[in-house]
Chains A and B, each alone.
Chain A
Amino acid sequence: MKLRIYVTLKPGVLDPQGKAIEHALSGLGFSGVDSARVGKLIELEVADGTADADVDAMCRQLLANTVIENYRIERA
């Protein structure tokens, strides 16, 4: 079973990489880009029937730092 874990910075946490991308896009002449935020996509191949609670624990214990990041689990 394939899982996609999206890890994103919490709202309000400054994202210097996102800022640089935003500026680069406007430098290329794309107008109307108000904001860019950079996150991570982690793909996991796990055994069928892996419990939701286990996947959640993987996110909380390692994949995301919940001080600064949110995560979302998507079953592919």
Chain B
Amino acid sequence: MKTAVIVFPGSNCDRDIAVALEQTTGHAPHMVWHRDTALPAGVEVVAVPGGFSYGDYLRCGAIASRSPIMQAVVEQAARGLKVLGVCNGFQVLTEAGLLPGALMRNAGLNFVCRDVALTVENAGTAFTRGYSAGERVSFPVAHHDGNYFADAETLDRLEGEGQVAFRYAENVNGSARDIAGIVSADGNVLGMMPHPERRIEAAHGGDDGRRMFTGLLEAVGA
């Protein structure tokens, strides 16, 4: 499986997710700079990492989402490219219009940095096929702006269409309907605030995140 990690100025989970991809797929991902205008040929999965791209200026993820490489990601996502956005990456994907809604300041105003229990809502996506529906997993969160917002009609649609991938078992940031991660209507784009790439081996305190990457590998079939 050929993968790529997008690197913006201020990304800080790019190497974590690169290690997770390399350990689970056996191949190091291409590290792609935000100014690049095209993805390397044959890339099947793109990770948009966590961090503070452009210092969170204007809005979290706003400026990164308008960078040249994101235009290429948006174009290829329309043709089925699998895109995983974690934390700041989720914010970038909503700002880029690849996922509905927006991530706002946490309802409690605090930066939340801790492990959080999640429920797998939809285990039928390319990203979550390694899990079972209703399964409880634990991932770390570390964010200030993870409060998922969308209008009621959009939330109803997300729930009705099975686009809610993960919910918080305990809502740590005020997210609407406890939503922690969503997939696009076509199922090829997933955004989530918690960090699966920080839970891939026992030394991390657990390996619940590993199955996201091994599942993707199975889904892509390489």
Contacts and interface: CB of A to CB of B under 8 A. Distances in A.
Contacts of A65: 59, 62, 95, 102
A14 B149 contact: yes
Contacts of B62: 62, 65
A13 B154 CA distance: 14
Contacts of B107: 14, 16
Contacts of A63: 58
A68 B66 contact: no
A62 B149 contact: no
Q: Describe B's contact surface by its main secondary structure.
A: loop
B71 to A, nearest CB: 12
A61 B71 CA distance: 13
Contacts of A13: 104, 149
B215 interface: no
A14 B102 CA distance: 12
A16 B66 contact: no
A68 B106 contact: no
A61 B62 CA distance: 10
Nearest to A42: B58
Contacts of B63: 62
Q: Describe A's contact surface by its main secondary structure.
A: helix
A17 interface: yes
A64 B100 CA distance: 15
Nearest to B152: A12
B66 A14 contact: no
Contacts of B105: 16-17
A16 B173 CA distance: 11
A52 B46 CA distance: 37
A59 B134 CA distance: 41
Contacts of B162: none
Given A13-B149, A16-B174, A62 B108 contact: no
Interface in B38-76: 58-59, 62-63, 66
A3 B59 CA distance: 20
Given A62-B66, A65-B95, A68-B149, A16 B108 contact: yes
B101 A16 contact: no
B150 A67 contact: yes
Sorted from nearest, which 7 A-B pairs have the closest CB atoms?
A67-B102, A68-B102, A16-B109, A16-B105, A16-B107, A65-B102, A65-B59
